[in-house]
Structure 1
């Protein structure tokens, strides 16, 4: 059993719908510290964890968030992508694909663990959390293969929460 937990946190450890979003600070793609506490309770948030910059599904997912970014803005939501890639990698990824949202570097994977994002064997998981204006998680979506569906699921959840 302990071996399985090494590969994937137990379901009890995962942040679920109805939970308050945990606050954290991480460096963004410009090397500035982003503190979630400064935005929680002020606007809806879409926090998505992804495995790696410039990989096929991750790029499709990021570009889908980019292509729907105006819709997220109309709903007042802040989009935040998080992976263990470093600041320089995030900066190149954001510039290469014209990503208008924040990318955070979780190099030691502390925030990933804080949220209880599961792994698939050794690959970091792909999970999106939609958080309402009050800091409560109103929707989660977990899919390794369908990066674009993270965007449609998030938009639907935000529209329902309005």
Structure 2
């Protein structure tokens, strides 16, 4: 896991809402990157639905949100449509984003770890936490940067 204060690696990747170029957000918005193990699985659904429930507040704080995992685009689109996620789900097919952000695999196996990063407008990591932190915690960090 990358440490707070580290420059966030930039990338371009396909998502449920088209190509995402992280560099385009640097200097303009804060960014929340949610690395999650699987599309349409119970804990991942709960985590991303909690973010969606507070998406208006997050967006109001000039912050972009992206979910990231290596799953296929068809499953991502279905998952995003089913739960009406307003934020893009990024396909990290070759796992280059996971590796750049030092996101490990659960017990070294197939699924990536669950990690949330918040990147400031200046492109540095402001927050890094394993697991499923409460959205209120994310909002606290974001609102103090807005």
**Shorter-chain TM-score: what band?**
over 0.9
Which consecutive unaligned segments of at least 5 residues does structure 2 have?
Answer: none
The answer on 1:89 being equivalent to 2:75 is yes
Name the counterpart of 1:10: none
Distance 1:150 1:17 in 2: 18
**How much is the aligned-residue C-alpha RMSD, in angstroms?**
1.2
Distance 2:137 2:117 in 1: 10
Shift of 1:153: 2.4
The answer on 1:15 being equivalent to 2:2 is yes
Name the counterpart of 1:63: 49
**Structure-1-length-normalised TM-score:** 0.84
Structure 1: 4+ residue segments shifted above 4 A: none
Name the counterpart of 1:157: 141
Work out the number of aligned pairs and report it: 144
1:38-82 residue CA offsets vs partner (Å, 9 max, x unmatched): 111211100110000010100001100100001101111000100
Question: Which residue of the other structure, out of 7, 11, 14, is the alignment partner of 1:24?
Answer: 11
Larger Rg: 1
Name the counterpart of 1:6: none
Whichever structure has more helix as a proportion of its residues is 1
Name the counterpart of 2:59: 73
**Structure-2-length-normalised TM-score:** 0.93
1:79-134 residue CA offsets vs partner (Å, 9 max, x unmatched): 01001111111110000001000110001111000100122211310101101111
Distance 2:134 2:20 in 1: 23
**SS class of match (2:7):** coil
Question: Which residue of the other structure, out of 94, 99, 113, is the alignment partner of 1:108?
Answer: 94
Distance 2:70 2:30 in 1: 24
Name the counterpart of 2:123: 135
Shift of 1:150: 4.6
Which consecutive unaligned segments of at least 5 residues does structure 1 have?
Answer: 1-13
